[in-house]
Amino acid sequence: MGPTLAVFAAATFTACRHPVVPRPSAVNIVPSQSAPGRPVTIPDEVRPYLNKSGFHWKCNQTPHFLLCYQPGSESERSIKDLEIIAEQDRDTVLQMIGVAEYEPRIYTFLVNSRRQLKKLIGFYGDGRSRPVQHAMFYVIDGPRTLAHEMTHEISTNLWGAAQPWIEEGLAVYTTEFPILDGDIRAYFAAHRLLPLAQLVNPTWESSKFSPDITYTELGSFVKFLDKKYGMKRIQEAWRGGSESIPQVFGKPLSELEQEWLATLTKPVEATHTLIYRN
């Protein structure tokens, strides 16, 4: 797995205190066989990642992505599969949130470890999305799928910024639904779920509680809302936040929570995955 596109770091010099626009990154783009030759323009806001000291990038163009990786990495060995995975995951995310098309190209940086991700963008974790820049960052051996960050990219650009609980809940639901039912029932049976009021509010942050539990819990709750009330209602709650829940769903969070918990006592429905995992 792995074609080529050399990216050479362009240095930025300042002769005085005034900011100087960095020179364009020198790139040779190798399109995949599925790419229609759509030209790639590297936006100014993406160039700093390509020019980051300590990194050397190769990149591959697909119809909707520029996938950048480091020579000799697992990503390079798997790049042909990753081209397919990215395009198929994009289609699935759009299908699940009920959107026909999404035009922006997504600039994706595949790194080898959390430490490399922190060096590149200053964040230590498994992945990150910066929707304003149409940029995604993903630790190739991380526990979550590439589609998790893709959901943040697409939904935020289509619907605007939202409260973290629904952003993460939607991303988990759209990308981990094949294993979601089993995981949430295990936490439910072990009495490890938190009251939703501690999560579904404007101030919740993922660092407050164990993300293994809270991400699964929020993903399951958003799945329940979608199955019973539909994605259009979720969009309304996305824009209105937790404060809008009584108006959007016609009942308070506490009542929705009881309805959701009642579904966890029922057998898991058979499902299949549409999300492709590396």
The tokens describing 89, both together, are 């995951």
Mean pLDDT of 225-238: 97
Instruction: Say if 61 falls within a structural domain.
Output: yes
Q: Are residues 148 and 114 in the same domain?
A: yes
pLDDT digit string, tens, across residues 82-127:
999 999 999 999 999 999 999 999 999 999 999 999 999 999 989 9
Round the CA-based radius of gyration of the chain to a whole number and report it: 20
Instruction: Say if 271 falls within a structural domain.
Output: no
Closest CA to 121 of 192, 54, 173: 54
Mean pLDDT of 22-44: 60
Rounded Cα gap, residues 62 and 75, in angstroms: 15
**Percentage of the chain surpassing pLDDT 90?**
71
Among 130, 159, 188, where does a domain finish?
Answer: 159
| Mean pLDDT value across the chain | 84
What's the pLDDT at 8?
28
pLDDT band at 22 (very low <50, low <70, confident <90, very high): very low
Q: Are residues 182 and 127 in the same domain?
A: no
Q: Are residues 17 and 155 in the same domain?
A: yes
Among 114, 144, 159, where does a domain finish?
Answer: 159
Regarding beta strands 106-111 and 6-8, do their DSSP bridges make them parallel or antiparallel, or are they unpaired?
unpaired
**CATH number of the domain within which 94 lies:** 3.40.30
Of all residues in the chain, what percent are helix, strand and coil, respectively (each to 5)?
A: 45, 10, 40
Q: Are residues 54 and 125 in the same domain?
A: yes
Mean pLDDT of 60-73: 94
* Residue 11 confidence (pLDDT) above 50: no
What's the pLDDT at 184?
94
| β strands within the chain, DSSP E | 6-8, 26-27, 30-31, 57-61, 65-69, 106-111, 127-130, 135-139
- Bridge-partner residues for 109, per DSSP? 68, 137
Tell which wins on pLDDT, 33 or 39: 39
What's the pLDDT at 71?
92
Rounded Cα gap, residues 7 and 27, in angstroms: 5
Q: Are residues 144 and 192 in the same domain?
A: no
Mean pLDDT of 26-36: 54
Q: Are residues 227 and 257 in the same domain?
A: yes
Q: Are residues 125 and 172 in the same domain?
A: no
Q: Are residues 199 and 74 in the same domain?
A: no
- In which domain, by residue range, is 189 found? 164-263
- For the chain, the domain total comes to 2
pLDDT band at 31 (very low <50, low <70, confident <90, very high): low
pLDDT band at 217 (very low <50, low <70, confident <90, very high): very high
What's the pLDDT at 82?
94
Q: Are residues 129 and 179 in the same domain?
A: no
State pTM to two decimals. Answer: 0.82
Using DSSP, state whether 6 is helix, strand or coil: strand
Rounded Cα gap, residues 82 and 86, in angstroms: 6
Q: Looking at beta carbons, which pairs linking 147-152 to residues 24 or more positions away fall under 8 Å?
A: 147/89, 147/90, 147/92, 147/93, 147/174, 147/175, 147/275, 148/172, 148/175, 148/176, 150/86, 150/89, 150/90, 150/93, 150/106, 150/175, 151/93, 151/97, 151/175
pLDDT digit string, tens, across residues 138-181:
998 755 678 999 999 999 999 999 999 999 999 999 888 778 89
What's the pLDDT at 144?
62
Q: Are residues 15 and 93 in the same domain?
A: yes
What's the pLDDT at 176?
81
Among 134, 159, 184, where does a domain finish?
Answer: 159
The helix (H) or strand (E) run that includes residue 265 is: none
Q: Are residues 21 and 135 in the same domain?
A: yes
